[in-house]
């Protein structure tokens, strides 16, 4: 009996060990595996938006007078007559270019015109001619025909400044006509006159500002800095560039 009891107790002990092992394995199998924590990224602030640098207008609009008749920036229109009205520049010279009428301009403008005519011939094989340059008060009296959109009254003409020339093709084609703007000569002048200090004074879409119909032949000397600034800014009239009132008609 004693041996049998011992054997029974031993078997019970083994059974307890086996059951415990099985229960422990099952418990471990049901438990979730320990996960490695994922590091959390620290939020970074969005970069601040940098505003583009403001465009600074550094062009000096006071470099020359707009009123002095001897200034290369003098603005003459239907609201701004020459002062005095019979003004005549003291530095007029003969302009040595091909011309249909004897041409005189102020020295600075004359030098620029000659350079521009030479460039047209050398760069583009285009030959230009002067149709009209300086006109005195008396000459304007003879030219004025009463049509205020086509001709200026005496004392109100840019030609009296000695800074303006009506330019045409040496062939005479479309002379003093709107079709000149469509000729190679007119297109070249439109695109290159600024290089020599000239602007096309009466653009096609600015009659309400200048008071004159499209004149693709009428070029006004203002100097290279101003002509270039106006081109780069896309401003085509002196009135708009200098903030002056439009001059569609006389007072």
In Å, what is the CA distance from 94 to each residue of 11, 102, 199, 207?
138, 8, 21, 31
CB 90 within 8 A of CB 106: no
DSSP string, 186-244: HHHHHHHGGGGTEEEEE-TT-HHHHSS--EEEEEEE--HHHHHHHHHHT---HHHHTTP
Instruction: Pick the catalytic residue from 158, 185, 215, 229.
Output: 215
215 is catalytic: yes
> Residue 200: how many CA atoms within 13 Å on its side-chain side?
27
Residues belonging to the active site: 215
């Amino acid at each position: 009996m004693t041996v049998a009891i011992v054997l029974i107790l031993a078997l019970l002990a083994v059974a307890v060990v086996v059951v415990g092992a099985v229960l422990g394995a099952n418990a471990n199998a049901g438990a979730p595996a320990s996960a490695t924590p994922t590091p959390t990224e620290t939020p970074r602030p969005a970069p601040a938006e940098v505003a583009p640098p403001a465009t600074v207008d550094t062009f000096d609009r006071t470099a020359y007078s707009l009123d002095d008749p001897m200034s290369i920036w003098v603005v003459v229109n239907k609201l701004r007559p020459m002062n005095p009205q019979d003004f005549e520049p003291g530095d007029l010279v003969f302009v040595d270019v091909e011309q249909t009428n004897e041409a005189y301009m102020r020295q600075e403008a004359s030098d620029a015109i000659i350079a521009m005519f030479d460039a047209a011939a050398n760069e583009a094989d285009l030959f230009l001619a002067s149709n009209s340059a300086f006109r005195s008060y008396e000459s304007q009296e003879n030219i004025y025909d009463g049509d205020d959109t086509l001709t200026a009254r005496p004392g109100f003409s840019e030609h009296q400044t000695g800074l303006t020339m009506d330019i045409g093709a040496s062939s005479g084609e479309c002379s003093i006509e709107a079709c000149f703007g469509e000729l190679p000569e007119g297109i070249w002048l439109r695109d290159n006159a600024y290089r020599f200090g000239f602007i096309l004074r009466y653009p096609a879409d600015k009659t309400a500002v200048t008071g004159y119909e499209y004149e693709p032949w009428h070029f006004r000397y203002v100097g290279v800095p101003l002509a270039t600034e106006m081109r780069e800014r896309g401003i085509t009239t002196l009135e708009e560039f200098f903030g002056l009132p439009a001059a569609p008609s006389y007072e």
